[in-house]
Amino acid sequence: MWGVVPAKPPLPVMLNYIWSGLIIGSLLFALTVDTQELVENRFRNDTALPATLAFPDGYAPEGRRQPVQIRIDSATYAQMYGVDEAPDASYAGVLVQTQEGRQVEFPTDAELPEPLATIQEYHATDDNPALRGTLTAAPPTPANTARLQAALEFEPVRFRKLRNIAQAALNFAETAASLALSLIGILGLMLGLVKIGEEAGLIEALTGVVQPLLSPLFPNVPQDHPALANISLNLLANVFGLGNAATPLGIKAMEDLQELNPSDNTATDDMVMLLALNTSSVQLVPPSLLVAIMGLQINQLFFSIMLATLFSTIAGIVGTLVLHRLPYFRASAPHRTSAPEADDAEPPPT
């Protein structure tokens, strides 16, 4: 049911389609976006962005890392990338010189305009999250130069979304396991509490109150039949969040209803009503799993859940009663089609 999942729940077929739809859908969507970006050359792969570098301390040809002010003309920027966003007037970056060449590092916390922000995100590593551009078109620079006209070439960005979905799949699989393990404590707390309620006979104590209310909803169950007691127990177990107890009780109630069923394999109106009440039942104790996930927030949600279940229960009852009366379902009702056999099991309604 809600919290306690048996080893192998029979999964509905539709879930297979939704699930594969999500996975295949993400691949197709990612491929579409990636192809579009490649066709548009959104990131201007292999094209250098003109920039002016200013050296506050003067250029040092031997310095491995030295401070540099990166200035990008916003008109040039807008023209090159075809965007409205504009870069800041200047960025306080670092010029890194190695044997492989000269690279400019943007500050890690810079508010970069698109598509630079995406380029940064794509190439960011844990060690070096900064956006880096390789210096091209720069003339040989003498020492103590204050200003340098150059161009920055960024690493190309290709199949960005494809990489994103693969990364997301790995991240979320990891999250799933750690999330589940983080729930153990609160789940244990809640399951311990409701176990006390179960042992103390909380649901049995209330069946006397609930049974007369339920009786009119199950017209084919005789007044003194144990089915009604089991139905009440099952529904009350749901109300108090006793998921462990609810399923066996529900199955017991179903077996009782099957005894009253003139047909072997066709559901009766009463069975459908039991099901509708089960899926919509009023919740006084929120599901343990939800408490574990939401933590203290559950305090407020208690009220919204109670109200929402109140509406859905009313709708479930009314909807089921209406469906009972539809000619299509009426025709297949075991209690009408085989009324003669049913007579001894079912006294005339009072």
Partner 1 sequence: MIETIRSIVGVLSAFVLPALLVGFPLYGLIKGVRVYEVFVEGAKEGFDVAVTIIPYLIAILFAIGMFRASGAMDFLVNALDPVLGLIGVPAEVLPMGLVRPLTGSGSAGLVADMINQYGEDSLVVKMVATMFGSTETTFYVIAVYFGAVNIRDTRHAVPAGLFADFVGFLASVYVVQLLFG
Name the packing angle between helices 116-123 and 160-182 (round to 10°): 60
Least distance CB 18 / partner 1 (angstroms): 6
Least distance CB 328 / partner 1 (angstroms): 8
- Preceding amide of 115 cis, omega within 30: yes
Q: How far apart are CA 197 and CA 242, in angstroms?
A: 8
Residue 345 binds partner 1 (CB under 8 A): no
**What is the full DSSP assignment across 316-348?**
HHHHHHHHHHSHHHHHT-HHHHTHHHHTTTSPP
Among 135, 262, 286, 335, contact with partner 1 (rule: CB under 8 A):
286
Count of Cβ atoms closer than 10 Å to residue 99 Cβ? 4
Looking at residues 84 to 143 of the shown chain, list those that interact with partner 1 (rule: CB under 8 A): none
Looking at residues 1 to 20 of the shown chain, list those that interact with partner 1 (rule: CB under 8 A): 1-5, 7, 9-12, 14-15, 18-19
Q: How far apart are CA 323 and CA 319, in angstroms?
A: 6
Could you tell me which residues are beta bridge partners of residue 96? 65, 103
Among 36, 128, 149, 297, contact with partner 1 (rule: CB under 8 A):
297
Q: Is 246 exposed, middle or buried (0-12, 13-18, 19+ CB in 10 A)?
A: buried
| Of 5 and 146, CB closest to partner 1 | 5
Looking at residues 264 to 283 of the shown chain, list those that interact with partner 1 (rule: CB under 8 A): 264-267, 271-276, 278-281, 283
Assess contact for 316 and 271: CB atoms under 8 A.
no
Looking at residues 168 to 197 of the shown chain, list those that interact with partner 1 (rule: CB under 8 A): 168-169, 171-173, 175-177, 179-181, 183-197
Least distance CB 88 / partner 1 (angstroms): 27
Among 54, 74, 107, 302, contact with partner 1 (rule: CB under 8 A):
302
| Of 99 and 265, CB closest to partner 1 | 265
Among 45, 97, 215, 312, contact with partner 1 (rule: CB under 8 A):
312
Q: How far apart are CA 134 and CA 126, in angstroms?
A: 20
Taking contact as CB under 8 A, which single stretch among the options 92-100, 151-159, 249-257, 338-346 is the one that binds partner 1?
Answer: 249-257
